[in-house]
Chains A and B, each alone.
Chain A
Amino acid sequence: MERCFPFQTSVTVYKAYTRVESDANTIARALTAQTAETDAIRFLVGTQSLKFDNQITNEPKRLSSENRVLTCAAVWRMPPEWESGSHESPDDSSNNPQTLELLCHLDNTAHGSVACVLWEPLGDGKRVISLAENHVLLWDLQESSTKATISSTATLEGKGQLKFTAGKWSPHHNSTQLVTANDTAIRGWDLRSMSQIYCIENAHGQLVRDLDFNPNKQYYLASCGDDCKVKFWDVRHINEPVKCLEEHSHWVWSVRYNHSHDQLLLTGSSDSRVILSNMVSISSEPFGHLVDDDDLSDNEENQQEDKGKEPLQDSIIATYEEHEDSVYAVEWSAADPWLFASLSYDGRLVINRVPRALKYRILL
């Protein structure tokens, strides 16, 4: 059910359609990049289907991957209701599908179905967070990772049935912060004290579907949701979003910052579109400060090439409409910062590159 799709960086793949092949009807749901892999471009796809000819009768809802030692990828499979997740680790191979090895289960039967599992973004990969119903569970993995134990938990209390829908472990602040989404609210957590540090009520008009941290600006956060909007937040000023995009025509299921060029933002929506936007004005790369010289620079264009380029505006770079059904996940490649994949309900994985012209503009 799970496949890796390796692409060599040297191969001039500009655009690739790939089906997630399966002998059964394949309904793909989750997608992630192999983060520790630096040579090969590798994505892991998780499916949602119930498989009858397989002895595994559970359904993997979310997959999280992490390269542990050298070339080893680890995959967690989390059952939502009655079985805990399984941990498989395939060998590094380029072509043939490998069976993932189950390392350990996260035994969380007490806490209900799991919404998502997060690896510690930095460090040696010994800690995992899982969000189940209204609980935040922090797991410690044993050396060689055959056993996981809950080290601490936090519970979201409130009226009604609260249920986490998404979460993200902040790569900043020495990995001590977590942000979660439930219904229309976004909450920040301090993992040391396991307590809530901020809460953006009504961040979106409807359900919040996904979150991502700006990898270069520690207080910046992107969120997306059922109101078709993508919002950018400065968590120090949570009353108003920094910016708001409204380009999709249906729920936005996934939002991802590019790992190295944080002005590039990828969103996938159930209107079957993937949109790559260029958010220059709130990126860490300082394009804006040349604005003052802008008028003068026309004459000096030849002498000063740096200044000659007019700053890029916030804009949509491209809308990818290759998918025929709802796009549930988008992800940047861990190895090549100009490559990204998107996955739709019908199991189609589309790999695209950032347009060459834009790439050179950002680089030069």
Chain B
Amino acid sequence: MSSATTPPDSDPTGRRRVHSMLKLYYGLNEEGTAAEQAESLDPCDINGPHFDPEVYLNKLRKDCSLCELMDHESCMVKQIRSLDSDMQTLVYENYNKFISATDTIRKMKNDFKKMEDEMDCLSANMAAITEFSARISGTLQDQHAQITKLSGVHTLLRKLQFLFELPARLNKCLELQAYAQAVSAHRRARCVLQQYSHMPSFRGIQDDCHVIMEQLAQQLRQKFRDGGSSAKDLSECVELLLQLDEPAEELCDKFLSHAQSRLEADLQGLEAELKDSAFTDTGGGSVQKTSPGSNPISPSSSSVINPFLSPTAGTDILEFIDRGCNEFVSSLCLVIASYQELFINRPQEGELASKNIPEMANGKLHVFVDTLAARYFSLVERRIQEEKGVGDNSLLVRALDRFHRRLQAITKLLPGSAVPSHGTEIVVRAARERIKQYLSALQTFYHDSLTDVRQALAAPRLAVGGASASGGGVTSKDATPSLPELLTSLSNFILNQLKSVLASVHLFTAKDITFSNKPYFKGEFCSQGVREGLVVSFIKFICQSSRQYCESAGDRGGSTPPALLLLLSRLCLDYETSTISYILTLTDEQFLVQHHTPVTPVTALCAEAREAAQKLLNHYVKVQGLIISQMLRKSVETRDWVNTIEPRNVRAVMKRVVEDTTSIDVQVGLLYEEGVRKAHSSDSSKRTFSVYSSSRQQIRYAPSYTPSAPMDTNLLSNIHKLFSERIDIFSPVEFNKVSVLTGIIKISLKTFLECVRIRTFGRYGLQQIQVDCHYLQMYLWRFVSDENLVHFLLDEIVGSAAHRCLDPSPMEQSVIEVICERG
């Protein structure tokens, strides 16, 4: 680094080089040096350590022009100058710093010396103080011991004084009725007295105390027994007595019996009320029995306004339960709470803890609560059972809710008690009972509405006012109700009633009702109770009662009007197609039924309803067929067919038959669809109806035979029968109009046939039958599904009549036609 020979390239690099040199000098080896060394191996690098001036110069001389060399030189000189000045300042600065450091060190040396002197002085002083202190405490030792002793004596004396004063103090306390003070004082002294009782003076004191305390205990007991005092007093009293070693069991008993007497009074009050209501029940018995049932549920509610309805039985159930809750349950809770405070939850101390009072007391309390609650429950249950009317369910639910809610307080107070679960059971029972009542109410409602429908059917032309009053809305318009109207109103009534019942029952599971989240009300109540017990049972009941209509009416001469059968059949069919699934879905939705137990599936119910519908319709066909049959039979049986005159007209009964069939057709058409019929010829009524077996010209049956040849009619008819299907007379019908009418006509004509077969006809008798049959054929074909059926049966009738004819000479077909068209 000779400044003269190494002109730095640039200022920063030169300075850094200076730094690194200095560092090197001070031993601070940096990592950067390695790199520097690596780059400065070049001998031409003016800053590198291996700088060779000769090489450098040669290189410059070789490379540069003169002018450049000149420039380079001047630059180099400038750099050398600046480096020189840098070096000078640096050296100067360092020198100054060295000077000031030397000064400081010198000054510190002087100060430390002074401080050392002072420390020596301090330690000497401390030693002196220690010595003095030891000397003083040595001199005070004796006096301290004396003072301690004296203060001990003083305490003892005070205690003794307390003891001697104790009887007097106790007496004073007794006078002032400061029992607590007395007892605490006595407690403090008791052990001491016990310990020193061998000394006569102490014995005296002890005896005195005993007497006084005995007296005190007596007074306390008296106070406890009187019981008039407040709960706080009472508890204080019990606490004191317990401290006086009074037996806890006895105290519990006393406390409970005392409480019992008060609770008994409440219960008796309730019971008296119950008896009162029962009395009024029987007093207004007949009125009351009918009114709650009919009020909400009968369709004719508006007409029956019962003055005895609102004050049903003195107090309603909500009031009763309210009273029970407010009087009995709340005071029971109070008793439980104070009892627990007194006997169970007290902090146990001393020897009392060992006596296991809480357990004993708890047992007693449970027995006590259970017996009283049982009586209370029996009363409540009696009251609930009196609640027969299905009117306002919300009242009952609210009552039950309140009942249940109040019992929860007991749960909180008395965790292990069976009382709340009993209470829940009562609620559950009440709910079950309620469902049953609703079911029977629905059933009576169903019967009532059927009766209404019957009345409407039986007296359709009666005064409108009467119908609307008795029918209770079956007829709202002036016109007499038609079958479809009756059907819709009936099914609407039933559905609405069912819905309202569901709504009432739904109250049991409402969210704000405390018992609704019990497992019973979440599961079984919904599925078994409401769904199965109420809805499914009701649907089954409808089907069953419908079936009963078929059976009973069949034997006892058709007491059921046929229209009702038809209507019920349609009702059942509607149930099968839609209503049942609707109702069940509604129920499931309302009650969120989760089916843990198997329930009746919708399909089974539908099948049942369909079966009932089928039965009813079959029965309808039977009944209607029977009515027409009777007409035909009478007409055949009562006439003297041998001696009759030549037919001039169609007999009136045949016209009647056609009329009735037409009206049945209209009636059925109101409720059932048309149905399919087999294609028939364009003008069936004009079909030639000249066939009767005895004519011996059976061209129709066997066209290939020569028409004039006498044929064995039996053979012919049997050949025909072989190829025709057997006719089942009372066969089940389908749910459509054509099928129903086919059934009715089949029955009627078969009867006609059988009746003809046991009569004997004269010539004109046979002709009359011919005319009648032709007439029937003209009109009946349009009602049936297969007109050939009518033809076949009518053929048979004419054929049989011919068999039974004394002089079988048939009438000309053209004449028959003329007569029929005229009639």
Query: Quick check: is B737 within 8 A (CB to CB) of the other chain?
Result: no
Query: Quick check: is B694 within 8 A (CB to CB) of the other chain?
Result: yes
What is the 8 Å Cβ interface bit string for chain B, positions 746-761, against chain A (1 contact, 0 not)?
0000100010011010
Contact B714 A202 (CB under 8 A): no
Contact residues, B768-823 vs A (CB, 8 A): 803-806
Contact B729 A271 (CB under 8 A): yes
Query: Quick check: is B693 within 8 A (CB to CB) of the other chain?
Result: yes
Contact A50 B693 (CB under 8 A): no
A residues in contact with B557, CB < 8 Å:
202, 205
**Closest residue on chain B to residue A57 by CB atoms:** B806
Contact B731 A249 (CB under 8 A): yes
Contact A249 B728 (CB under 8 A): yes
**Closest residue on chain B to residue A241 by CB atoms:** B555
Query: Quick check: is A206 within 8 A (CB to CB) of the other chain?
Result: yes
Minimal beta-carbon separation of B755 from chain A (angstroms) = 11
B residues in contact with A345, CB < 8 Å:
757
A residues in contact with B718, CB < 8 Å:
324, 346
**Closest residue on chain B to residue A347 by CB atoms:** B714
Contact residues, A259-290 vs B (CB, 8 A): 270-272
Contact B693 A25 (CB under 8 A): yes
- Complex CA distance for A358 and B506, rounded to whole angstroms: 59
B residues in contact with A196, CB < 8 Å:
none
Query: Quick check: is B176 within 8 A (CB to CB) of the other chain?
Result: no
If over half of A's interface residues share one DSSP class (helix, strand or loop), that class is named, otherwise mixed; here it is: loop
Query: Quick check: is A132 within 8 A (CB to CB) of the other chain?
Result: no
Minimal beta-carbon separation of A338 from chain B (angstroms) = 28
A residues in contact with B694, CB < 8 Å:
25
Query: Quick check: is A310 within 8 A (CB to CB) of the other chain?
Result: no
Contact A250 B730 (CB under 8 A): yes
Contact B721 A205 (CB under 8 A): no
A residues in contact with B560, CB < 8 Å:
none
Contact A27 B555 (CB under 8 A): no
Contact A325 B626 (CB under 8 A): no
Query: Quick check: is A32 within 8 A (CB to CB) of the other chain?
Result: no
Complex partner residue of A272 from B726, B754, B803, B805, CB under 8 angstroms: B726
Contact B803 A25 (CB under 8 A): yes
B residues in contact with A270, CB < 8 Å:
729, 750, 754
**Closest residue on chain B to residue A346 by CB atoms:** B714
B residues in contact with A326, CB < 8 Å:
754, 757
Contact residues, A2-42 vs B (CB, 8 A): 19, 25-27
Complex partner residue of A324 from B712, B721, B757, CB under 8 angstroms: B721
Minimal beta-carbon separation of A224 from chain B (angstroms) = 14
What is the 8 Å Cβ interface bit string for chain A, positions 194-206, against chain B (1 contact, 0 not)?
0000000010011
A206 and B626 contact, Cβ closer than 8 Å, known pairs A324-B722, A346-B714, A346-B718: yes
B residues in contact with A271, CB < 8 Å:
728-729
B residues in contact with A81, CB < 8 Å:
760
What is the 8 Å Cβ interface bit string for chain B, positions 541-580, against chain A (1 contact, 0 not)?
0000000000000111100000000000000000000000
B residues in contact with A101, CB < 8 Å:
none
- Complex CA distance for A249 and B803, rounded to whole angstroms: 25
> Which of B717, B730, B750 gathers the greatest number of chain A CB atoms within 10 Å?
B730
B residues in contact with A250, CB < 8 Å:
729-730, 750
Query: Quick check: is A49 within 8 A (CB to CB) of the other chain?
Result: yes
Query: Quick check: is B489 within 8 A (CB to CB) of the other chain?
Result: no
B residues in contact with A25, CB < 8 Å:
693-694, 712-714, 803
Contact A202 B556 (CB under 8 A): yes
**Closest residue on chain B to residue A161 by CB atoms:** B638
Minimal beta-carbon separation of A115 from chain B (angstroms) = 11
- Complex CA distance for A271 and B731, rounded to whole angstroms: 11
- Complex CA distance for A80 and B806, rounded to whole angstroms: 15
Contact B721 A251 (CB under 8 A): no
**Closest residue on chain A to residue B714 by CB atoms:** A346
Query: Quick check: is A228 within 8 A (CB to CB) of the other chain?
Result: yes
Contact residues, A198-235 vs B (CB, 8 A): 202, 205-206, 227-228
Contact B626 A228 (CB under 8 A): no
Minimal beta-carbon separation of A171 from chain B (angstroms) = 28
Contact A228 B730 (CB under 8 A): yes
A residues in contact with B804, CB < 8 Å:
27, 48, 50
**Closest residue on chain A to residue B730 by CB atoms:** A249
Query: Quick check: is A59 within 8 A (CB to CB) of the other chain?
Result: yes
B residues in contact with A228, CB < 8 Å:
730
A residues in contact with B713, CB < 8 Å:
25
Minimal beta-carbon separation of B714 from chain A (angstroms) = 5
A27 and B803 contact, Cβ closer than 8 Å, known pairs A59-B760, A270-B750: yes
Contact A251 B554 (CB under 8 A): no
**Closest residue on chain B to residue A207 by CB atoms:** B633
**Closest residue on chain B to residue A248 by CB atoms:** B730
Contact A49 B729 (CB under 8 A): no
A49 and B803 contact, Cβ closer than 8 Å, known pairs A26-B714, A271-B729: yes
- Complex CA distance for A251 and B633, rounded to whole angstroms: 14
- Complex CA distance for A324 and B713, rounded to whole angstroms: 14
What is the 8 Å Cβ interface bit string for chain B, positions 704-729, against chain A (1 contact, 0 not)?
00000000111001100110001011
B residues in contact with A202, CB < 8 Å:
555-557
What is the 8 Å Cβ interface bit string for chain B, positions 688-707, against chain A (1 contact, 0 not)?
00000110000000000000
**Closest residue on chain A to residue B724 by CB atoms:** A324
- Complex CA distance for A271 and B626, rounded to whole angstroms: 16
B residues in contact with A27, CB < 8 Å:
757, 803-804
Contact B714 A251 (CB under 8 A): no
B residues in contact with A324, CB < 8 Å:
718, 721-722
**Closest residue on chain A to residue B731 by CB atoms:** A249
A205 and B760 contact, Cβ closer than 8 Å, known pairs A49-B803, A50-B804, A346-B714: no
Contact residues, A319-364 vs B (CB, 8 A): 321, 324-326, 345-347
A residues in contact with B757, CB < 8 Å:
27, 48, 326, 345
- Complex CA distance for A80 and B642, rounded to whole angstroms: 13
Minimal beta-carbon separation of A254 from chain B (angstroms) = 13
Complex partner residue of B805 from A48, A50, A346, CB under 8 angstroms: A50
B residues in contact with A80, CB < 8 Å:
760
Minimal beta-carbon separation of B143 from chain A (angstroms) = 114
B residues in contact with A26, CB < 8 Å:
714
- Complex CA distance for A321 and B694, rounded to whole angstroms: 26
Minimal beta-carbon separation of B694 from chain A (angstroms) = 7
Contact A50 B760 (CB under 8 A): yes
Contact B730 A205 (CB under 8 A): no
Minimal beta-carbon separation of B749 from chain A (angstroms) = 12
Contact B555 A251 (CB under 8 A): no
- Complex CA distance for A347 and B713, rounded to whole angstroms: 12
Minimal beta-carbon separation of A276 from chain B (angstroms) = 19
Minimal beta-carbon separation of B727 from chain A (angstroms) = 8
Complex partner residue of B555 from A50, A205, A321, CB under 8 angstroms: A205
Minimal beta-carbon separation of A133 from chain B (angstroms) = 13
**Closest residue on chain B to residue A25 by CB atoms:** B713
What is the 8 Å Cβ interface bit string for chain B, positions 245-268, against chain A (1 contact, 0 not)?
000000000000000000000000
Contact B760 A346 (CB under 8 A): no
- Complex CA distance for A321 and B713, rounded to whole angstroms: 21
Minimal beta-carbon separation of A50 from chain B (angstroms) = 6
B residues in contact with A206, CB < 8 Å:
626
- Complex CA distance for A59 and B556, rounded to whole angstroms: 36
Contact residues, A165-203 vs B (CB, 8 A): 202
- Complex CA distance for A117 and B728, rounded to whole angstroms: 32
A227 and B554 contact, Cβ closer than 8 Å, known pairs A325-B721, A346-B717: yes
- Complex CA distance for A249 and B626, rounded to whole angstroms: 14
Contact residues, A32-69 vs B (CB, 8 A): 48-50, 59
**Closest residue on chain A to residue B728 by CB atoms:** A249
- Complex CA distance for A27 and B714, rounded to whole angstroms: 9
What is the 8 Å Cβ interface bit string for chain B, positions 35-71, against chain A (1 contact, 0 not)?
0000000000000000000000000000000000000
* Further 4 A-B residue pairs, CB within 8 A, beyond A25-B803, A202-B556: A25-B693, A25-B714, A27-B804, A227-B554
Q: Give 5 closest A-B pairs by Cβ, nearest first.
A: A250-B729, A324-B721, A249-B730, A249-B728, A25-B713
Sample (6) of A-B pairs whose CB atoms are under 8 Å apart: A25-B713, A48-B757, A48-B758, A227-B554, A272-B726, A345-B757
Chain B interface (Cβ < 8 Å from any Cβ of A): 554-557, 626, 693-694, 712-714, 717-718, 721-722, 726, 728-731, 750, 754, 757-758, 760, 803-806
